[in-house]
Amino acid sequence: MAMLFVTAALGLLIGLAGLPLAAGRIKRNAWYGFRTPKTLSSDDVWYPANRYAGRALAAAGAATVGLSLLALPLGWVMPPAVSDWLALALIMVPLGWAVLSCLLYLRKL
């Protein structure tokens, strides 16, 4: 059950990490953002791709937080190993969706 609290906290961090990207405040760099050869090639690709990625990260983070809090009562009745796998899924599924949707969006640019 404790992992569901950790998962909610990680979801909050993921969501917060997406906000500067969604606001278009991050310049092209080698450390932070949706970095691919295509996005690093030009500001005309970097900013729209990173705005989209920021919104996707914020949505993934919000989904992780919300689902973790909804699953919290289940954590009281399920074995710890099951709760841990659930916590992992609550992080990976929204993040996987975010990455896939960003890659599909990048193909359109």
Which ranges constitute the DSSP H helices of 23-79?
37-41, 43-77
pLDDT for 34 equals 97
The stretch 6-26 carries a mean pLDDT of 97
Which of 63, 49, 53 is CA-nearest to residue 12? 63
pLDDT for 53 equals 98
What would the pLDDT profile of 46-71 be if each residue is shown by its tens digit?
999 999 999 999 999 999 999 999 99
User: pTM higher than 0.85, yes or no?
Assistant: yes
Tokens matching residue 104: 């599909």
What's the CA dihedral at 67, 73, 79, 85 to 10 degrees? 0
Q: How far apart are CA 64 and CA 4, in angstroms?
A: 10
**CB neighbourhood size of 96 (10 A):** 12
